[in-house]
Amino acid sequence: MMQYRTRIKVCGLTRLEDVHATAAAGADAIGLVFYPKSARCVSLEQARVLRQAMPALADVVALFVNAEPDHVRQVIEQVQPDILQFHGDESPDYCRQFGRRYMRAFRVGGPGLDTPENVRAACLEFPDASAWLFDSYSAGYGGSGRSFDFALLDVLRADQNARPVVLAGGLNAQSVADAMARLRPYAVDVSSGVEVSPGVKSPERVAEFIAAVGQADAAARSSC
């Protein structure tokens, strides 16, 4: 079935002005990083302010990497994100324990995620995820600005049990159309590609990225 439009998440926001610009440009979701080793990590207090600035009908995603469950609960209680994103080595039971919608990220190209078969097997362990997010492998866990070999996801496209695919990793206004044409993801996720420096977004690059996704969707519709 042809989908009407590709959803857009902009990840790693730390500043109020970037939330305003990203929402105004038409993003469907923003991601707040709660991973202390990331340059984009936000405090609970910062996150509450950023969350409050998001308009209705646009989601706030809380991103964690192998966090203590109590930390996740604290963020849920105090920030009230719309959805959780687990970007580390979290197990299915770990992801489910919060009783919230979640996206599970897979760091493609890394250990155990380097063939189409093992990528598929890893994904199928998370049948209750609201989406499977694919990012490139990096030692720092994410936000690396690097892409990965899309052929590793080909097998998922025909899988009836596949969850909605969120494509991340090295996307920018120049590369996103080709990536969308190749994989037809449910959503795309960008961080470094719309930044001036880690955690500091460029309103122009965010707007260019969102326009490029819209143009790619329009091109796909007109070719149907």
Cα–Cα distance for residue pair 188/136, rounded to 1 Å: 13
Q: Among the residues of 80-140, which ranges form H helices?
A: 92-96, 116-124
Please work out the total of residues on this chain that contact ligand LARABZUK, with binding judged by CB under 6 A: 25
23 or 32: CB nearest ligand LARABZUK: 32
**Phi, psi (degrees; rounded to nearest 5) at 135:** -125, 165
36 or 92: CB nearest ligand LARABZUK: 36
Question: Angle at Cα 213 formed by Cα 209 and Cα 214, nearest 5°?
Answer: 115
- The residue from 143, 156, 201, 213 that contacts ligand LARABZUK (CB under 6 A) is 143
> Token pair of 49, please?
């302010």
23 or 199: CB nearest ligand LARABZUK: 199
CB of 84 to ligand LARABZUK, least distance (A): 13
CB of 187 to ligand LARABZUK, least distance (A): 11
Whether 11 sits among the annotated catalytic residues: the reply is: yes
145 or 160: CB nearest ligand LARABZUK: 145
For tokens 């969308």, name the residue.
180
Catalytic residue (one of 11, 41, 95, 123)? 11
Tell me which stretch binds ligand LARABZUK (CB under 6 A): 32-40, 72-80, 206-214, 216-224: 32-40
Task: Write the burial class of residue 60 (CB in 10 Å: 0-12 exposed, 13-18 middle, 19+ buried).
Answer: buried
Q: Is 189 in the site for ligand LARABZUK (CB under 6 A)?
A: yes
Residue 32 pairs in a beta bridge with 62
Q: Which residues of 213-222 are buried (b: 16+ CB within 10 A; e: fewer)?
A: beebbeebee
CB of 191 to ligand LARABZUK, least distance (A): 3
DSSP assignment letter at 128: T
- Check if the beta carbon of residue 193 is closer than 8 Å to that of residue 173: yes
Question: Contact residues for ligand LARABZUK (CB under 6 A)?
Answer: 11-12, 31, 33, 35, 38, 40, 63, 65, 87, 135, 141-145, 168-171, 189-193
